[in-house]
Amino acid sequence: MTTTRQIDRRVAIVLGGSGGIGRAVSERLAADGMAVVVHYKTGSSRATDTVQRITEAGGEATAIGGDVADEHDMAALFERTVARYGGIDVVVNTAGIMVLTPVADLDLADFDRMHRINVRGTVVVTQLAVRHLRSGGALVNFSTSITRLQTPNYAAYAASKGAVEAMTLVTAREMRGRDITVNTIAPGPTATPLFLADKSKELVDHIAGLSPMERIGSPADVAASVAALAGPARWVNGQIVFVNGGAV
């Protein structure tokens, strides 16, 4: 089968690539010269728009849907990527959900749903990534700075992301001899539609004031750190990288 991959073009899969941070990551990696697979589960129109923005800027991208926690969906996504581009060099897993409530009031169905996507989804994606990534490749998972803040209502969400961090640290050691880096980005407050929803300007200003940079982050700030881990920052490996302007 012929592929569209150029010999000098690296290939990236961005899980959750149609969301706020995921879109910024997709566009940044494309701007850095990578062919990008923009994954989505329900946001097909947003994924299509992201692909259009990339191609209009001169990049190469395609959108592929699927459930990150379904091993068959994800296997098909990785197989389609290899068939189209010839291989995979970077996998970035931004996909995840957040349910906030005190532990005493936690609905276990919500807990199970969050862990299915955040934890099982990371296991599924990590398995496929380490099986497919070429030498010189990078896997970038996503946690949150909340794991260090002990903020009320975030216990179950922080627990799911703590699992992601532990998995990242061990997987990096399992990649010995393959020249593949495995890291996790842990963003702080970031100006995505999800973060800003239902928050007053006063609350956003208060959160911004917690950082010595005196602002909240942008998706582009996070994407810049991902781009470093996906490309030139080869000596950063097996780490949790906090991208929060010094708020933690």
40 counts as catalytic: no
pLDDT, tens digit (0-9, with 9 covering 90-100), for 232-241? 999 999 999 9
Q: Can you give the pLDDT at residue 116?
A: 97
Which amino acid, residue 23?
R
Q: DSSP class of residue 90?
A: E
Position 43 pLDDT exceeds 80: no
Q: Enter the tokens of residue 37.
A: 């697979």
In a domain, 113, yes or no: yes
Residue 210 sits at the vertex; the CA angle it makes with 209 and 211, to the nearest 5 degrees, is 90
Q: Can you give the pLDDT at residue 184?
A: 98
Q: What is the spatial distance between Cα 163 and Cα 219, in angstroms, rounded to a whole number?
A: 23
Q: What is the spatial distance between Cα 241 and Cα 25, in angstroms, rounded to a whole number?
A: 16
pLDDT, tens digit (0-9, with 9 covering 90-100), for 59-81? 999 999 999 999 999 999 999 99
Going by pLDDT thresholds of 50, 70 and 90, the confidence category of residue 7 is low
Handedness of CA 121, 127, 128, 129 (dihedral sign): positive
Q: Can you give the pLDDT at residue 73?
A: 98
Q: Can you give the pLDDT at residue 118?
A: 97
Mean pLDDT over residues 23-38, rounded? Answer: 98
In a domain, 180, yes or no: yes
Domain span including residue 181: 11-241
Between the alpha carbon of residue 108 and those of residues 140, 144, 145, 202, the distances in Å are 29, 21, 24, 33
Q: What is the spatial distance between Cα 77 and Cα 68, in angstroms, rounded to a whole number?
A: 10
Q: Are 91 and 15 in contact (CB under 8 A)?
A: yes
Structural domain total, the chain = 1
In a domain, 4, yes or no: no
CB atoms within 10 A of CB 125: 25
**Tokens 């955040």 -> residue:** 118
Q: Can you give the pLDDT at residue 6?
A: 52
Q: What is the spatial distance between Cα 36 and Cα 38, in angstroms, rounded to a whole number?
A: 6
pLDDT, tens digit (0-9, with 9 covering 90-100), for 113-154? 999 999 999 999 999 999 999 999 999 999 999 999 888 999
Q: What is the CATH number of the domain that holds 31?
A: 3.40.50.720
Mean pLDDT over residues 101-122, rounded? Answer: 97
pLDDT, tens digit (0-9, with 9 covering 90-100), for 44-57? 999 999 999 999 99
Q: Can you give the pLDDT at residue 5?
A: 47
Q: Can you give the pLDDT at residue 214?
A: 86
pLDDT, tens digit (0-9, with 9 covering 90-100), for 153-210? 999 999 999 999 999 999 999 999 999 999 999 998 888 877 777 788 888 888 888 8
Position 1 pLDDT exceeds 50: no
Q: What is the spatial distance between Cα 81 and Cα 150, in angstroms, rounded to a whole number?
A: 39
Q: Are 76 and 124 in contact (CB under 8 A)?
A: no
Task: Exactly one of 40, 85, 154, 157 is catalytic; name it.
Answer: 157
In a domain, 190, yes or no: yes
In a domain, 1, yes or no: no
Q: Enter the tokens of residue 163.
A: 């699992």
Q: Can you give the pLDDT at residue 2?
A: 41
3-class state of residue 246 by DSSP: coil
In a domain, 248, yes or no: no
Helices in the chain by DSSP H: which ranges? Answer: 20-31, 44-56, 71-85, 108-115, 121-132, 155-174, 193-196, 201-209, 219-230
Q: DSSP class of residue 217?
A: B
Q: Can you give the pLDDT at residue 231?
A: 92
